[in-house]
Structure 1
């Protein structure tokens, strides 16, 4: 009986102690609003270039940093086939070509968020050329693209043709964001901060139909030439210019046309940039497919004859032929001028050269910071190699691209040295790369970043939560100790 009394007393005392502790802790705990983690937002951008289309999916926290999202790449998908401008004669195929990548994108975006994902398609130089040549065909291609994208559960915001300056400026934003020139996470501050000594990079972009240069000049900039942005609370004013018809593919067409026109009516024409023993047959009618080569020369407009281009592997002759594509005389003696009379302040700072700049130099193993002399020597040596040598040395390289690397490389040298006026010293400030971190370099990320400026930051979602303080825990421990001591004493006295 005594044992039962003891057990019962002990149990009661234990329960009382536990209840008193719980009541005490609850009375001392401060109840306040606690924010939930910010929601993740998504966005999609199609880069509809002249030679291909790619889709990029981006994500960022809804609370943003100084009104700009901290954006990361969640997915990239290359659309099969050529650029959407190639579907001018069959516009529905332009929309259909996007379906595979759209379906891949929806697999990485939660179903509950898909309906609010802003989705854009930006077309670049290929569609700019198509609009010049046939504006109704360009409109129809964009209409078919929009029709397809509206079939998917996303917030489609439109398909439009970007200006060359927009393309260049957004590429500049992408580069400097990825290289943490705008904002950088500080582990010490546990926050995103503006770098005190930010290194702002310039952007060099070479596409299929156009090329862009964008950078922050030293000193003041003529306001008519400036593109202005506000990113992470800071204002930036940059120079940017785009040259239509000076993209890699259009340059090759223009080069071939000039060589043919200079040779009069010959059906066999020497091509100094093609490897020796390589031949390519082209129809004069093919030059009428682009505004860049659709000249009024009667030898091009009234004849559909074929011409065979015979490779000669002449490095110096190639460089000379490429230089003729530029009108350098239009600048006179002005140093603030590239070609065709276009104003440009002196290049300043470090530059990232991407897209075709990178791909051509990567093939030639020239992306490791080689000196200008080493670059020239490598290009000259490559241009002297025969077609048999090249095709056996690079059996896995695309047979259509391989004979064009000599022309492309000499074109890059001419554009950077003679047009943009980099020299032997500033050449070392050019870095050839296509990625920074895990994200692709290009205009789409910069486009998405700039758009986040226009999207209102969401107010944090709050819940009622319990936040215990240190003194409450200390008092609870003291009360627990005293209670247990009193309980033990009570038991001993009862016994």
Structure 2
């Protein structure tokens, strides 16, 4: 009696297909097809609880740039949040809103960034990897018909891509959601996002068009003393409900605040008007563009300059607009990112890679130094005085932080970009029921 021979499954399939009369090329295609459905059909040789790897592509269409985040997750238990294994990040400037009059160029920007996703996500996973774009303040500030033309162009690029395109894959994100999802991102990355959590971190996000503050209140009076109900928002996660203080201020992002401080917001006659500011070096004059519009800006050669006068200019952008929460507890650690981080780096306050802890008074002190020495400074960064003064004013007179409040300035948390994008991805997979 001849001994029986057991063939490995792929080899057994190869023999069967050859016997069936298929060519070697057809056999190769059949093996690829089998591989592509391996994740769909149950694999009886593997334990049912084995971890699986999946991917997601999230576009952040901001006012000053478009960014792509390609996330790699490991899911071991469907009842829990996945583990983030890796993030591939890339960005392109300017933002989509700069192409308000030529939306096809915006589509080309997205198409270029999709190449990053194709290189990062294995080809066999493309068809089940969702691709999503959320636009923020840049498109919120545009006329609705121009914003929609940009979104339609992005939708067309997505539809012709090899990735999974979910319903509502391209949209403008609500400002409140932006703050909540950024809070979810940072607390997920710092290990604070779990049921009955007692310790969380707050977030301060300063974009080009808008700024957000979000934290988990410890005192009921913080919730009861809000000016309107929409300062409090919640979401459900892991059978728990979270109630957050959160607000997004459209028009109080760093670039929009520059416009307002210059008196250029909604101004007419841009082709001949020059917008002067005591926040700029006296002899400075140049063009500056935001949102696809170019402005002539300059210092005031015959007027005043320096921190004190600059502060009065930016105060009008903040006063009476930013609500001061009843509670900004010292025990509530706040992570500040986006332009908070970038300008702290530009001012030499923190390391551009590591970030660092700063007190609010550190922004104030550096703003004074930059503004009062503008005539001696090179004009390489002419807006640094205005930006640092605005950040100081926003933190102190806006949100009401004490000068001694410590902020964690960061660009990345555990090597992942600090932004709302990760929270938005978790929301896509887990339906957080934000309300």
Q: Same fold (TM over 0.5)?
A: yes
More helix by share: 1
Name the CA distance, whole Å, in 1 between partners of 2:414 and 2:314.
35
The 5 A counterparts of 1:246-395 are: 246-257=252-263, 271-280=277-286, 308-310=298-300, 313-328=305-320, 339=321, 342=323, 344-348=325-329, 349-367=332-350, 368-387=356-375, 389-391=377-379
Please report how far the alpha carbon of residue 371 of structure 1 lies from its aligned counterpart in structure 2 after TM superposition: 4.2
Kept in 1, the 8 Å contact 2:139–2:147? The answer is: yes
Greater relative CO, 1 or 2 (CA 8 Å, sep 6+): 1
Give CA-to-partner distance per residue, 1:273-296, whole Å, 9 cap, x none: 1124322368xxx99988xxxxxx
Structure 2 unmatched runs, 5+: 1-44, 351-355
The 5 A counterparts of 1:399-478 are: 399=380, 402-425=381-404, 427-428=405-406, 430-454=407-431
Name the CA distance, whole Å, in 2 between partners of 1:404 and 1:208.
14
The one of 164, 174, 177 aligned to 1:155: 164
Larger Cα-atom Rg: 1
Give CA-to-partner distance per residue, 1:101-120, whole Å, 9 cap, x none: 21121112111111011110
Please report how far the alpha carbon of residue 315 of structure 1 lies from its aligned counterpart in structure 2 after TM superposition: 1.1
SS of the residue corresponding to residue 34 of structure 1 reads: coil
Please report how far the alpha carbon of residue 424 of structure 1 lies from its aligned counterpart in structure 2 after TM superposition: 2.7
TM-score after normalising by structure 1: 0.68
SS of the residue corresponding to residue 57 of structure 2 reads: strand
The 5 A counterparts of 1:114-125 are: 114-125=126-137
For residues 208 and 267 of structure 1, do their structure 2 counterparts lie closer, same or farther at Cα, with a shift above 3 Å needed? closer
Structure 1 unmatched runs, 5+: 1-31, 184-193, 291-303, 329-338, 392-398, 456-495
Q: For this pair of structures, how many residues does the alignment match?
A: 368
Kept in 2, the 8 Å contact 1:94–1:145? The answer is: yes
Name the CA distance, whole Å, in 2 between partners of 1:315 and 1:143.
44
Give CA-to-partner distance per residue, 1:346-404, whole Å, 9 cap, x none: 2231100100011111211224434444442222111122355334xxxxxxx4xx111
Please report how far the alpha carbon of residue 405 of structure 1 lies from its aligned counterpart in structure 2 after TM superposition: 0.9
Name the CA distance, whole Å, in 1 between partners of 2:298 and 2:429.
52
Q: Does 1:242 align with 2:225?
A: no
Farther-moved stretch of structure 1 (224-233 vs 146-155): 224-233
In the other structure, the counterpart of 1:40 is 53
For residues 260 and 109 of structure 1, do their structure 2 counterparts lie closer, same or farther at Cα, with a shift above 3 Å needed? closer
Kept in 2, the 8 Å contact 1:114–1:154? The answer is: yes
RMSD: 3.1
